Structure formats: structure tokens, C-alpha cells
A = this chain, B = another copy of it.
């Protein structure tokens, strides 16, 4: 084996110029078909790959996207981010981009790290996740000129100056609530988190509006007895469900699968196993919900990732000024698991 081939070495062995080969790769339509084929054959035969560094130095684009990953706090919530990360890598790869990871212990550290990578040219832009109230990152990135797209809407001002993609949690809990209404339930509780988290409040609002629209349990809604607020967790779910039962609830929509798991074990004590399963709807459609046969709201994570990548790459390739920011709210899907036991066994 000789040296690693370069544009120059290929060119002289083919009797054409560097630029022609470069054009075959980047502007195929300007090269004559016959030479194009000849060049392509030689490229394949020699195993030539353009140097990322040289290309990036000249074109001022690295085709790399930055992303901060966070330590998984628990196995449950982690799996969602994991699916998102995976989809993100896949979509980027499909579009000839790569994903670079960073860690940070604070939002400020994250943005400064991203900005540093951006000025060295290591990344062209980045993806923001886990947006929250009073999130300063969009402003900081904008100030340093780092292109980005957020997964998660900006909870303070909906019409932010940047593009974002999010999943419509309220639509999800509405679907869940309407499903339980269809099953005949009227006193449907919501097990959610304390107010103050954008995601949690959003999910609660879907249940609230669906209940109001259906005109059921109006007095209970007013008293707030069906509206249980607690930290996330299985144990917390059981406790919240016990309180809801005392308030006369027969079913529950939950802000997470952890809460739903807890809720269904409580319901099992006062009703058939079948009812205990079908009267609870979780959120995120985690493996745990699938294993226990619980219905759950599934977030279209892969679609979200794909959209994020599309928007970011569009932003990166748009010649000069950034395009109009796009705000995209994807609708989740209700995964029903309501077979009775016999059907369940047939299915296996």
C-alpha cells in the first residue's frame, strides 16, 4: 500500500485536475458524464476519502452538531432521552452530519462549551434539550452566534426568535382522558407533578380541558380533588391514587409511567386486575408500561429528532441570514393495551 490518496494524487493518476474530482463529489452536474464515471470508478478503486480537516478549513463548515448529554437520573426517564439521542444520530448520519457530545454541570457551562466549539469550528451548530422555565440558553447562544434548534418549547415566550420542535403533551393527556371517557369513566383523576414545570403543567392542562369540554365532574374539578400533584415516582403514584380514590375517582390519567405503575397497583386492590390496567393511562410508553400492559401516551421521539435535524441543517445551509424560525408541535399517540386476559394469552 502506498500513501493515503489525495485529490492531487488521484488527479495526476487520472490525467485530470484536482478541481474536476472535487466537482465530481460536490457538483456532479457540471462534470461530463463520461469523465464523471471514470473518476468515480477510480475513487472507489483507490478508497479515496476527502480530508475532513482540509474541507472544513476551506469551506468553513464541519458538518458536526453539538449536543449536551445529561446523566440519567433514573432508568425510566432516561430511556426517552436515549431514544431521542439515538434517533438524532441516525438522522444526522443520513444527512451527512455527525453528532458531537459534551457534558456540563450547568446551563452556563453548556452554552460556553458550545460557543467555544463553535468558534473553533468543531461544530456548526447545536441542539438544545430539556428546556425549562427561565431558560437562559437560547439568549446566550444567540448572543454568541451559535445556530441551534431546541427540542422543547421555550416556556416563557412561545414566539421565541429561534426554531423549536416539541411534543404536544396537552394533546396527549386529552387523548388519554377522552379514551377513558369513552370507556364510561366520569370521575377521572390526573396524577401529575407540582405546578411550575412547563412539561407538567402542559400535560395537566390537556386533562383539564378535556374534562371541561365533556362537562363531567365539574364540581370536583372546581375543588381540585381529582387534580393530584406529587413528585415523580412509583411510590408517589400509589399515594396520589389513594387520595384520588377517596375523592371518588374511578380512573386516572398520569403525567408519567412511574406514576401510572403506582396507580395501577392501588386500583388493583379495589377492582379487577383488568379494570386496574385499563383505567390508568401513563405517559411516555416506557418498556415498563409495555411489560405491565398499561396504556400509555407515546411521544413521537424519532419524528421529533428528524425534524430537529432538518431544521438545524436548513438553518446551517441557508446562505446568509437565518430563515424565519419554525415552531413545530408534534402530536403524540395513545397506545392502547386493553386486551382481556384471554386475548392476551392468544397474542403470545
A residues in contact (CB < 8 Å) with B: 4, 47, 49-54, 56-57, 62, 64, 69-72, 74-76, 78-79, 82-83, 85-86, 89-90, 93, 98-103, 116-117, 119-122, 234, 286-288, 291
Contact between chains at B50 and A69 (CB < 8 Å): no
Most B-side CB within 10 Å, residue of A50, A62, A101: A101
Return chain B residues, CB-CB under 8 Å to A89: 69, 101-103
Q: How far is the CB of A4 from chain B (nearest CB, A)?
A: 7
Return chain B residues, CB-CB under 8 Å to A120: 49-52
Measured in the bound complex, the distance between the Cα atoms of B99 and A64 in whole Å is: 11
- Whether A79 touches B75, Cβ cut-off 8 Å, given contacts A51-B121, A103-B89, is yes
Q: Which of B52, B101, B102, B288 contacts A75 (CB 8 A)?
A: B288
Measured in the bound complex, the distance between the Cα atoms of B90 and A169 in whole Å is: 32
Contact between chains at B101 and A83 (CB < 8 Å): no
Contact between chains at A71 and B86 (CB < 8 Å): yes
Contact between chains at A116 and B291 (CB < 8 Å): no
Q: In the assembly, how many copies of this chain are there?
A: 2
Return chain B residues, CB-CB under 8 Å to A103: 86, 89-90, 93
Q: Which of B72, B76, B90, B101 contacts A98 (CB 8 A)?
A: B101
Contact between chains at A101 and B99 (CB < 8 Å): yes
Q: How far is the CB of A143 from chain B (nearest CB, A)?
A: 11
Measured in the bound complex, the distance between the Cα atoms of B292 and A313 in whole Å is: 45
Q: Which of B76, B85, B119, B287 contacts A69 (CB 8 A)?
A: B85
Contact between chains at B121 and A74 (CB < 8 Å): no
Measured in the bound complex, the distance between the Cα atoms of B7 and A120 in whole Å is: 12
Residue of B nearest to A288 (CB): B75
Return chain B residues, CB-CB under 8 Å to A100: 64, 98-101
Q: How far is the CB of A200 from chain B (nearest CB, A)?
A: 21
Measured in the bound complex, the distance between the Cα atoms of B79 and A76 in whole Å is: 9
Measured in the bound complex, the distance between the Cα atoms of B69 and A215 in whole Å is: 48
Measured in the bound complex, the distance between the Cα atoms of B4 and A144 in whole Å is: 12
Q: How far is the CB of A55 from chain B (nearest CB, A)?
A: 8
- Whether A287 touches B86, Cβ cut-off 8 Å, given contacts A4-B119, A119-B49, is no
- Whether A52 touches B83, Cβ cut-off 8 Å, given contacts A75-B76, A89-B103, A102-B93, is no
Contact between chains at B72 and A79 (CB < 8 Å): yes
Q: How far is the CB of A18 from chain B (nearest CB, A)?
A: 16
Q: Which of B71, B76, B117 contacts A83 (CB 8 A)?
A: B71
Measured in the bound complex, the distance between the Cα atoms of B109 and A90 in whole Å is: 13
The 9 residue pairs across chains A and B that have the minimum distance between CB atoms: A53-B57, A53-B56, A52-B120, A75-B79, A75-B75, A52-B122, A72-B82, A49-B119, A49-B120
Contact between chains at A78 and B69 (CB < 8 Å): no
